[in-house]
Structure 1
Amino acid sequence: MSDWLFDLGNSRFKAASWRSDGGIGEVLAWPHGADALVAGDASHGPLPRGRRAWLASVAAPALTTQVLALLRERFEQVHVAHTLAECAGVRVAYAQPARLGVDRFLALLGAHAGGGDVLVAGVGTALTIDLLDVDGRHHGGRIAASPTVMRQALHQRAVQLPAAGGHYREFADDTDDALASGCDGAAVALVERSLQQAAGLLGRIPALLLHGGGAEPLLRLLPQAALRPALVLEGLAAWARERHAADAPVRG
């Protein structure tokens, strides 16, 4: 029976098998709501069954509880990841590690496995940016609204401004493109400033990794970036490996 890794975010629910070599299998995705999961409304079939499930969640507590119940029906053991001060060679900058979102923490673990200095940018509901040096020291980061949330917030305050659509242009000549350019451009500018400041802090330019559902549209604006869509799941595999090796898993 296989082990599976699950990533429950604010807008997506993803999973991958945890291979015996420590890597992850094909990434699967389901609709976000637990009701859809119960109904079997999935792009990749029903939720898998297996021996152990490892879950990382930043979703609301009620949804997390529902998903945990579903996983406990299908797996012999269910383990919930949480942020640690140190894990898999990474040392968290936060004085209170629990205040660092587990998705950011796991993304750092996944990034550190590749070696080198790295700036990790997650583009989902929020835009998160974290700096990690080659020795595994986390230097902290930033949190801002993602381009999608910027658009939604503008639409809520001014309904004549569309919540989606348009294309990035440096100087747009219509409202849809101006909105896309402003919101995507704001995210890119924050990433670029973070790269600049990171280079000054470290004395060298870190690699740039993008992950999250909103990362791909920013790639052409950040040509130096590499896309790692499964970075949180990769980090969850590293977390599970460390906890399994210590024989001290955290039960959900």
Structure 2
Amino acid sequence: MSDWLFDLGNSRFKFAPLLDARAGAVQAWPHGVEAMPAPALAALPQGDTAYVASVAAPTLTAAMLAVLQARFGRVQVVRTTAEHAGVRIAYADPARFGVDRFLALLAAAQRQQPVIVAGVGTALTIDLLDADGRHHGGRIAASPTTMREALHARAVQLPASGGDYREFADDTADALASGCDGAAVALIERSRVQAAGVLGSLPTLLVHGGGAPALLPLLADAQFQPSLVLDGLARWAVHQPPAAR
């Protein structure tokens, strides 16, 4: 039997085995239980404990928890707390700080260096963490994908996808890709520059999320950490008090 990690986001459902204090090989579906055919549901792992993080809608979260409760002896759902494993959240009300952002910071804190953590999913989230584990706050904006979808919803002649990044595009699809990707890159870069003013040095940039690969060529020294949330969930799991495990 084994312990597993499950991350139910706004766009994708990911899971991986817990290996020591990190996530093992990651599997992913476009979304949660409603996107998984019966054979895939039947092939979900079984084990002792399922550690679960979810930012999805309550109904979808409940459906996935019901599936996992039938396959694991125990299901533990992580919640954001003011402090965990040396990380101290800046929010006065930690419950209002997304659990995905919280877990990404737990994973990033293992570096013991200043970091900007940028998550590119349905939303673009940016958080600053210093070398001592203190969270200095962050930003939330629409991701490039969400920007494109919002523009298409208001003006159907603007395609919701496609195009390539160009500094000065000469067609609409490229202009949309350039504008939306460029907006995200500009916000990340500004946050990093401002962080250097706060901390006195330029922090390392860690990028994760399904939309991150498209931005990496525009962020010269960014480090892509695709399993950052699951790695943080693994760290949360192993730092529980013995009685809670």
Give the equivalent residue in structure 2 for 1:187: 184
Give structure 1 stretches of 5+ with no counterpart: none
- The Cα shift of 1:242 comes to 1.4
Within a 5 Å distance, the mapping from 1:32-181 to structure 2 comes to 32-37=31-36, 39-41=38-40, 46-181=43-178
Query: Does the 8 A contact of 1:13 with 1:31 survive in 2?
Result: yes
Q: d(CA) in 2 for partners of 1:183 and 1:18?
A: 36
Give the equivalent residue in structure 1 for 2:243: 247
Q: d(CA) in 1 for partners of 2:158 and 2:244?
A: 51
Give aligned pairs, total.
245
Q: d(CA) in 1 for partners of 2:102 and 2:32?
A: 24
TM-score, length basis structure 2 = 0.97
The correspondence for 1:213, drawn from 198, 210, 213, is 210
Give the equivalent residue in structure 2 for 1:9: 9
Q: d(CA) in 1 for partners of 2:159 and 2:122?
A: 18
Opposite residue 29 of structure 2, the aligned amino acid is: W
Query: Does the 8 A contact of 1:172 with 1:181 survive in 2?
Result: yes
Matched, 1:224 2:224: no
- The Cα shift of 1:38 comes to 5.8
- The Cα shift of 1:41 comes to 4.0
Give structure 2 stretches of 5+ with no counterpart: none
Identity of aligned residues (%): 67
- The Cα shift of 1:71 comes to 0.2
Q: d(CA) in 2 for partners of 1:156 and 1:41?
A: 32
Query: Does the 8 A contact of 2:21 with 2:231 survive in 1?
Result: no
Give the equivalent residue in structure 2 for 1:25: 24
- The Cα shift of 1:223 comes to 1.1
- The Cα shift of 1:149 comes to 0.3
Q: d(CA) in 2 for partners of 1:92 and 1:246?
A: 23
**4+ residue runs over 6 A deviation:** none
Cα distance, 1:185–1:112 mapped onto 2, change above 3 Å: same
List per-residue Cα deviations over 1:209-232 (Å, max 9, x = no partner): 000000011000001100000000
Q: d(CA) in 2 for partners of 1:52 and 1:185?
A: 42
- The Cα shift of 1:246 comes to 4.1
Query: Does the 8 A contact of 2:8 with 2:32 survive in 1?
Result: no
Query: Does the 8 A contact of 1:119 with 1:130 survive in 2?
Result: yes
SS state at 1:247 partner: helix
- The Cα shift of 1:61 comes to 0.2
Q: d(CA) in 1 for partners of 2:43 and 2:26?
A: 14
TM-score, length basis structure 1 = 0.94
Q: d(CA) in 2 for partners of 1:35 and 1:138?
A: 35
- The Cα shift of 1:115 comes to 2.0
Opposite residue 243 of structure 2, the aligned amino acid is: D
Query: Does the 8 A contact of 1:37 with 1:46 survive in 2?
Result: no
